[in-house]
Amino acid sequence: METFNHNLSNLFSQLGLNNSQSFIESFLCEHHLEQNEMLTEASFWLPAQKRFLKESQEQDADWSEVIDQLDTLLRK
């Protein structure tokens, strides 16, 4: 059985973004979601990133928990 650590750093890698702690912190400071804005509809995602996030949530994939965490962090 293959195990994989689905954390914020690995999610950023999966999205094709820099996954360093400093980049993640900067990203979270520079990007925010409005109260009723869905994570998958945010303007700062590329189409492929939106698709990955949406499909992962719809399929309740292993990434769902960390995607929810990212959603929460972008609302602070």
Q: What is the pLDDT of residue 1?
A: 42
Is the pLDDT confidence value at 3 over 80? no
DSSP states of 15-49: TTS---HHHHHHHHHH----TT--GGG-TTS-HHH
Number of domains making up the chain? 1
Instruction: Assign residue 55 the CATH number of its domain.
Output: 1.10.10.1130
- Rounded to an integer, the average pLDDT of 20-46 is 96
Cβ partners under 8 Å of residue 68, min gap 6: none
Is the pLDDT confidence value at 29 over 80? yes
User: Element (H or E) spanning 13, and its range?
Assistant: helix 8-14
Q: Is residue 56 included in any domain, yes or no?
A: yes
Q: Is 7 left (phi over 0), alpha (psi -120 to 50) or beta?
A: beta
The domain of 47 spans 8-75
Question: What's the pTM?
Answer: 0.89
